[in-house]
Amino acid sequence: MKGIETIKENSISDNHLIINRGITWIEGPGYFGKEIRFLAQESTAFLLSENKAVHWIDGAHRFNPSTFFEPLRSRDCGLEEGLRRLYIGRGFTLHQLHALILRVHQETMLTGASLVVVDGLLAMFLDEQIRLYEGRAILRNCLQSLRKLSEHCAVIVIDGHAISILHQRLKSVLEIHADKHLCGYWQTKRKKILILKSTADSATILHLLPKQKDEAQSRLESFTSTDQVGQHRLL
């Protein structure tokens, strides 16, 4: 490898934030990358603290606004103030997810968003009721739309390690469209050291400390959603 960097703390430095234009595919352990999505959360929190808007499309049914509390507080950003600039879209079926991705380009023109995150993109494509050729066609259409979007906005796609042959085949389609691929895995079963490899033949070693649970509770409806954006129409 060209270089190995070691970070002995939970916080991610600005050098590791994913805020550049293009499509960045981050892949890691957990249910469709659940244990590596903190990279996208840190990048999102940074932009929110800088008064930038971010769109988060949830394709894995796991969005929880409380996961942004700590990253926002660490940047001295008020929770309500920051989360009002976070636009959420939730797809409960593949076709709903498809529609969210197709319309997010217009929505970013209204909000001026600097980042779009698609969490668990491939999760719904593994539905047994979705025919293979149909799924591939929809995935290509989604990625083509994200490619156009990435010309003026950073795009992060979160996915986990392959769990089936079909999942691996879908990943090969995603790989064609991604500008950058970050792949993470735990060094040990204790899940304290995360190795993050990039397509640039380099690696970052993250020493993660256990985080305390935040007792604050919040409801998704309290924050801005893409439904509000959808009320506007582009001329």
Q: What is the pLDDT of residue 194?
A: 79
Domain boundaries along the sequence of the chain: 17-183
Contact 48, 85 (CB under 8 A): yes
Q: What is the DSSP string of 135-165?
A: HHHHHHHHHHHHHHHTTTSEEEEEEES--SH
- Among 60-64, 68-72, 126-130, 155-159, the range of highest mean pLDDT: 155-159
198-233 pLDDT per residue, tens: 765 666 776 665 454 333 333 334 444 444 443 333
Q: What is the pLDDT of residue 208?
A: 60
Q: What is the pLDDT of residue 185?
A: 86
What are the structure tokens assigned to 102, written together?
Answer: 């197709």
Q: Sign of torsion, CA 191 44 76 12?
A: positive
50-54, 91-95, 141-145: least confident range: 91-95
- Percent share of the chain, pLDDT over 90: 46
7-29 pLDDT per residue, tens: 444 455 555 567 788 999 999 99
Q: Report residue 175's pLDDT band, with 50, 70 and 90 as the boundaries.
A: very high
CA–centroid distance for 43 within its chain: 9
Contact 27, 160 (CB under 8 A): yes
> How far is the C-alpha of 18 from the C-alpha of 166, rounded, in Å?
28
Q: What is the pLDDT of residue 45?
A: 92
> How far is the C-alpha of 14 from the C-alpha of 73, rounded, in Å?
16
24-35 pLDDT per residue, tens: 999 999 888 888
Q: What is the pLDDT of residue 233?
A: 33
CATH fold label, 17-183: Rossmann fold (3.40.50)
Contact 23, 146 (CB under 8 A): yes
Pairing of strands 3-7, 54-58: unpaired
What are the structure tokens assigned to 233, written together?
Answer: 């129409």
Q: What is the pLDDT of residue 119?
A: 94
Distances (CA, A) of 57 to 33, 60, 87, 115: 14, 9, 8, 11
